[in-house]
Amino acid sequence: MKQYKDLVAKKVLVLGLAKSGVAAAELLHSLGAFVTVNDAKPFDASPDAQGLLQKGITVICGRHPEDLLDEGFELVVKNPGIPYFNPVVADATRRGIPVWTEVELAYLISEAPMIGITGSNGKTTTTTLVYEMLRVGGLQPLIAGNIGTVACGVAEKATADNVIVTELSSFQLMGTNSFKPHIAVLTNLYDAHLDYHGTFDAYADAKFGVTRNQDEHDYFIYNADQPTVVAYAEKSKAQKIPFTTKGRTEVGASADDVAIYWNGEKVVDRADIVLPGQHNVENILCAIATATLLGCEASAMTQVLATFGGVRHRTQFVREWQGRRIYNDSKATNCLATKSALEAFTSPLVLLAGGLDRGHSFEELREAMQHVRVSISFGETGMRFAEFAKSCGVEEVIVAVNVEDAAAYARKLSQQGDIILLSPACASWDQYESFEVRGDLFIEAVTKF
């Protein structure tokens, strides 16, 4: 770990705990900063806050005092989920106090080069693919960021022999100042998180933070099929590496119906790739470009692509049972994600969908429903999705109680050659704590077939 001297004796406020807040507070304390942690959860109900207090860190819990910043803080490090219209954050901005997320800390202390991967869709799959390719290739990768492992905690232990593959959200990138990954990836841009950012332009500007500080010694891998992304790429000072799914090209990563290419040379046949779906081709192109730039051997990349069945809960291959292939796509909490999953298959589908009713239409799915033979819906939207499925001409339509009940119907109604796909198009919170819980229950149910 680099000893970042600029934080010695500085008064720093860590706003919000959870994993990132705890890691940031501990790191700042070890770097010699005077750290105060502020979290809304009561102290008695927060083991994290109690642990930090025992280490000599000042803790203010149960409220966010209006005069909190009167203590003379020189830096605020906030949880990425806390919006900028939060009163404390807004006050810090008015006072000219820098507001970071822990990703900035990770960059400042990391001895290892960092890879920054962002985009509206595909971040987790791309990050995992890159990590697996580098791991198989013997390049000692570490994985961090929005994928679940706090970046500054990983950077604290990394050496110059490692490379940190980091999934980054727009929330995290807004809180960076000097962050400069050696390789930056922007998978795509769609409307997302507008409740946080306000406008698409503000959201896209946050995503552009992944390459904003790069220079000619760095690389920016970007989606050449999206004009909005191309316009942002033109602003980058890094070496630009385009990728496209619209046919073989001589520069960058590309794909046609036959193969995946790097600078026009075939890397792998499409038939040898296990991961399903056209949307995953983008992720594969990003991963191949990143791994190649880091010196990964083609054999390592092809080995991963021949075995990698998907990230858990993201069009994840679960098992084959009596001629049926079963996939868990519980992460599909909106119609766009489910549309991508449906378009990944041409075999007859038994679709399990439904969940929290936010009142949105399912019309976006209509064209993609052409291969659905059986619809099994559940949750608050169960009846509404069933009516939609009937209007699409689905052969058999069932309303189940929950995802376990839906899995039982899938076992009974599926036929040899079918794909059984959980892709809810809805959030899980009507019945389950998270999409992970919903997906885990589905996996448990189908493994008992």
The two tokens of residue 133 are 């390719």
Residue 292 DSSP SS3? helix
The reply to whether 123 sits in an annotated binding site is yes
d(CA 369, CA 355): 18
Q: Helices 18-30 and 47-54: crossing angle, nearest 10°?
A: 0
Domain end among 58, 82, 100 = 100
- pLDDT interval class at 267 (50, 70, 90): very high
Predicted local confidence at residue 442, as pLDDT: 98
Say whether both 323 and 434 belong to one domain.
yes
Kindly report, residue by residue over 60-81, the tens digit of the pLDDT. Answer: 999 989 899 999 999 999 999 8
122 is in an annotated binding site: yes
Domain that holds residue 171: 103-305
Q: What is the tens place of the pLDDT at every residue in 135-173?
A: 999 999 999 987 768 999 999 999 999 999 999 999 999
Would the annotation count 121 as a binding residue?
Answer: yes
Domain's final residue, options 276, 305, 334: 305
Residue 329 and residue 292 in one domain:
no
Residue 11 main-chain phi, psi, to 5 deg: -85, 115
Same domain, 85 and 114: no
Q: How far is it, in rounded angstroms, from Cα 233 to Cα 76?
A: 30
Is 309 annotated as ligand-binding? no
For 300-321, the pLDDT digits (tens) are: 999 999 989 888 888 888 999 9
For the chain, the domain total comes to: 3
Burial class (CB in 10 A: 0-12, 13-18, 19+), 162: buried
pTM, two decimal places = 0.82
Is 120 annotated in a binding site? The answer is yes
What is the tens place of the pLDDT at every residue in 48-57?
A: 999 999 999 9
- Residue 375, marked binder: no
127 and 94 belong to one structural domain: no
Q: 221 to each of 172, 442, 443, how far by Cα in Å?
A: 19, 36, 35
pLDDT on residue 196? 80
CA distance 90 to 321: 54
pLDDT at res. 13: 98
288 and 396 in a single domain? The answer is no
Over residues 264-282, mean pLDDT: 91
> Do residue 166 and residue 292 come from a single domain?
yes
Assess whether 192 and 281 both reside in one domain. Answer: yes
334 inside domain: yes
Give yes or no for residue 293 having a pLDDT over 90. yes
